[in-house]
Amino acid sequence: GENVEQHPSTLSVQEGDSAVIKCTYSDSASNYFPWYKQELGKRPQLIIDIRSNVGEKKDQRIAVTLNKTAKHFSLHITETQPEDSAVYFCAVSGGGADGLTFGKGTHLIIQP
């Protein structure tokens, strides 16, 4: 089955700096790559996603890049703010109706 590796497990950045989280996957047939944010005690919520026919997607301070050849994708958060503190999960799907395979998560800490 699909294997998703996510790094780092913990990331601490100064408020206003950028944060980058990286994921690699194993199945070259995978074609859907969402990112979820989970605050303490809450449910995972989709923040951005990218499909395999696109190399980059941006939504305000958040961007995702995809390198299908190397089988990795990254989440970029610029101008970080205290409310960005949370656990971020990458996920991978092969398309169709199947479920997502998640990375182990990155605990992002924004230092004031």
Provide the binding-site residues for other proteins, judged by CB under 8 A.
Answer: 31-32, 34, 36, 42-46, 49, 51-53, 89, 93-105
Find tokens 């299908």 and name the residue.
68
Min separation Cβ 65 and other proteins, Å:
17
24: CB partners within 8 A, 6+ apart: 4, 5, 70, 71, 72
- Which one, 15 or 39, has the nearer CB to other proteins? 39
Min separation Cβ 32 and other proteins, Å:
2
- Which one, 41 or 112, has the nearer CB to other proteins? 41
Give the C-alpha separation, 35 to 52, whole Å: 14
The H-assigned helical ranges of the chain are none
